[in-house]
């Protein structure tokens, strides 16, 4: 009986680890749902047809163009580090950009991972391109973006790093 219980515990442990690993890799672990965007200058009204724009903070610029149909949003663009962030670091340890779908009051209805980089990607690969076709959640009126990442210097284990992140609802 003891051996069977031990096998059950090991199997359960590995299943839990597998579920958390899959959830973390899916880009859906980090959510902004229900948060209210407070920076109106970083919200853009969704309009039919072909549109383009620039979303910009002190650290990052996202140049995007999209085509909105009745049910989907086809969005493409580039993300580019700005100023000293582009010149002061050599590597991106990890980086994620999220598209936020907002309702008429600026509440996040859904967020979608549109760009992800990791494993010490060279900053020389900037600008970083993305392209996605996404179903538009019901009630969406505007969009915005959020990001999270860590920049680092090349070299020894004791290299310096800098975390960058932004959510228009958390500023």
Q: Report the chain's terminal Cα–Cα distance, integer Å.
A: 56
In the prediction, which pLDDT does 32 show? 86
Handedness of CA 62, 33, 120, 133 (dihedral sign): negative
What pairs with residue 151 in β-bridges?
92, 162
Whether the model clears a pTM of 0.85, i.e. scores above it, the answer is no
**Token pair recorded at residue 3:** 């051996």
Selection from 80, 73, 83 nearest residue 112 by Cα: 73
Give the integer Cα–Cα distance in Å for 18 and 70: 37
CA gyration radius, the chain? 19
**Token pair recorded at residue 145:** 């973006």
What pairs with residue 25 in β-bridges?
none
What pairs with residue 53 in β-bridges?
64
**Per-residue pLDDT of the chain in tens (171 residues, 90 and over written 9):** 555 666 766 666 555 554 444 444 444 456 888 889 888 889 999 999 899 999 999 889 999 999 998 889 999 999 988 877 666 777 788 889 999 999 999 999 999 999 988 766 666 666 789 999 999 999 999 999 999 988 887 644 567 788 888 887 654
For 27, counting Cβ atoms within 10 Å of its Cβ (0-12 exposed, 13-18 middle, 19+ buried), the class is middle
Q: Which CATH architecture has domain 31-166?
A: Sandwich (2.60)
Domain layout of the chain by residue ranges: 1-30, 31-166
Give the integer Cα–Cα distance in Å for 29 and 116: 13
In the prediction, which pLDDT does 87 show? 66
In the prediction, which pLDDT does 77 show? 97
In the prediction, which pLDDT does 4 show? 60
With left for phi above 0 and alpha for psi between -120 and 50, is residue 139 left, alpha or beta? Answer: left
């Amino acid at each position: 009986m003891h051996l069977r219980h031990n096998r059950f515990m090991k199997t359960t442990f590995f299943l839990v680890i597998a579920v958390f690993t899959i959830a973390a890799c899916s880009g859906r672990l980090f959510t902004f749902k229900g948060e209210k965007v407070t920076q109106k200058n970083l919200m853009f009204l969704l309009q039919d047809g072909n549109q383009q724009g620039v979303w910009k903070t002190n650290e990052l610029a996202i140049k995007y163009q999209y085509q909105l149909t009745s049910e989907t949003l086809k969005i493409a663009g580039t993300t580019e580090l700005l100023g000293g962030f582009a010149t002061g670091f050599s590597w991106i340890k990890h980086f994620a950009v999220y598209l936020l779908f907002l309702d008429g009051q600026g509440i996040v209805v859904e967020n979608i991972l549109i760009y992800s980089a990791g494993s010490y990607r060279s900053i020389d690969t900037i600008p970083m391109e993305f392209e996605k076709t996404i179903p538009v959640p019901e009630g969406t009126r505007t969009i915005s973006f959020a990001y999270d990442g860590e920049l680092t210097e090349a070299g020894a284990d004791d290299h310096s790093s800098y975390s960058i992140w932004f959510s228009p609802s958390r500023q």
